Amino acid sequence: MKLGIVTHRVIKGDGQGRVNYEVTWEAIRRGHHVSLLATQVDPELQQNDQVSWIHIPVKGMPMAFFRNIVFSWRSADWLRKHRWQLDLVKVNGAITSAPGDINAVHFVHSSWLRSPVHTWQQRRDLYGLYQWLYTALNANWEKKAFRQAKRVVAVSQKVAKDLIEIGVSPECIEVIVNGVDLQEFYPGDADRSRLGLPEGVTIALFVGDIQTPRKNLDTVLHALVQVPQLHLAVVGTTEGSPYLQLAAKLGLKERVHFLGYRRDVSEVMRGVDFFVFPSRYETFGLVVLEAMATGLPVITASTTAAVEIVTSESGIVLPDPDDTQALVQALSMLTSDACLRSQMGQAAIAIAQHHSWSRTAQNYVNLFEKLSESVRSVQEIGSGG
């Protein structure tokens, strides 16, 4: 099979990029050839004989909006000229204006536009207006892209539901959950002092974009006030974040440890006691799965699609992400009961073991092969073969 993948990046350190990285390697292992229409590709893949990298440059373009448009035009132009060389083409959302056979969906912009925590609902300024326009245009382009695909892959049941709401036929939807790197995220101990964390105290961990209210660090901080024996480690870029000031205002400066952007998130996870992530809007929440693989009990909310894999034995799911008192109870429960944390951590590991990147990639390539065989059979019937 000759597979084409259209994506911005095919690298390990990126959400969609990691999926396509793993899918590419699985396709290679099965003897398929992969053409990558991408701006950035992992060096090892560039050197592989079964990979052709079609470089789609967008360097120098201001703002993601213009970079995406240029990428869409250039990738579509290549596909118009060379589509006959490929058996199947996999795309992500509205990444290209050319049709794709398989469209993998991590985010449905129509759903995000309706969310009460969309940037436009929080900021009625030029930046908020830009985000509204960006989302609205993507929502329109996505609908066309989904209609053109033979199969649409959703990363969660929530995304599948969002797709159905905008008219995608349920028969065309496959759900393939994102995976976790079990070689990177695994249980163990870490040197807290090296991580900048205090010894001898219970520490919860929050990881995410702390420049936006969507991830809901504000509710976590307000709840922390009522759990005085608990410390909180926060991983996320601090520049422009309002939450350092909020933590100080709430008298939490000694108990909240802002670690900034970290490349060693797995190591930080091994240095804490449990994970808290009550995001107000999340189409999956890979970081929840990574925490579970590390053996951490999780506290999350029903608005985070990762709850689809969280059981009552492995974590606590809040019905309302903004219910501060419910979060206080959950934090208090895990802070005071080390035995419960251990039991939940073991259950979390067992669940995460079923969601490796290897299994995710296998599910994708299984779908590609099945669809490719179906297309080939139709062509043979049509030609009288």
Work out whether the CA dihedral 360, 366, 368, 374 comes out positive or negative.
Answer: negative
Say yes or no to pLDDT of 15 above 90: no
Comparing 380 with 111, the larger pLDDT belongs to 111
Say yes or no to pLDDT of 116 above 70: yes
| Percentage of residues of the chain with pLDDT beyond 90 | 90
Residue 53 has a pLDDT of 98
Say yes or no to pLDDT of 10 above 60: yes
Say yes or no to pLDDT of 379 above 70: no
The whole-model pTM stands at: 0.91
Q: How confident is the model at residue 65 (pLDDT cuts 50, 70, 90)?
A: confident
Residues 194-216 pLDDT 10s: 999 999 999 999 999 999 899 99
Element (H, E) at 52: strand 51-55
CA distance 342 to 350: 13
Residues sharing a CB contact under 8 Å with residue 313, sequence separation 6 or more, in sequence order: 343, 344, 347
Residues 313-343 pLDDT 10s: 999 999 999 999 999 999 999 999 999 999 9
Residues 251-278 pLDDT 10s: 999 999 999 999 999 999 999 999 999 9
Residue 136 has a pLDDT of 95
Structure tokens at 350: 């067992």
332 and 227 Cβ atoms separated by less than 8 Å = yes
Q: How confident is the model at residue 173 (pLDDT cuts 50, 70, 90)?
A: very high
Structure tokens at 56: 């789609």
> Distance of CA 102 to CAs 22, 140, 261, 328, Å?
16, 18, 34, 43
Say yes or no to pLDDT of 377 above 80: no
Residues 19-39 pLDDT 10s: 999 999 999 999 999 999 999
Residue 17 has a pLDDT of 86
Instruction: Give the domains, in start order, of the chain with CATH numbers.
Output: 2-179+356-382 (3.40.50.2000), 192-352 (3.40.50.2000)
Say yes or no to pLDDT of 158 above 90: yes
30 and 93 Cβ atoms separated by less than 8 Å = no
Comparing 65 with 43, the larger pLDDT belongs to 43
Work out whether the CA dihedral 126, 132, 135, 136 comes out positive or negative.
Answer: negative
Residue 383 has a pLDDT of 54
Q: How confident is the model at residue 375 (pLDDT cuts 50, 70, 90)?
A: low
Which residue type does 162 have? D
Residue 37 has a pLDDT of 98
Say yes or no to pLDDT of 248 above 70: yes
Say yes or no to pLDDT of 289 above 60: yes
Which residue type does 282 have? E
Tell me which of 35-39, 51-55, 61-65, 229-233 is least confident: 61-65
Q: What is the mean pLDDT of residues 109-132?
A: 92
Q: What is the mean pLDDT of residues 52-56?
A: 98
Residue 316 has a pLDDT of 98
Say yes or no to pLDDT of 13 above 90: no
Q: How confident is the model at residue 61 (pLDDT cuts 50, 70, 90)?
A: confident
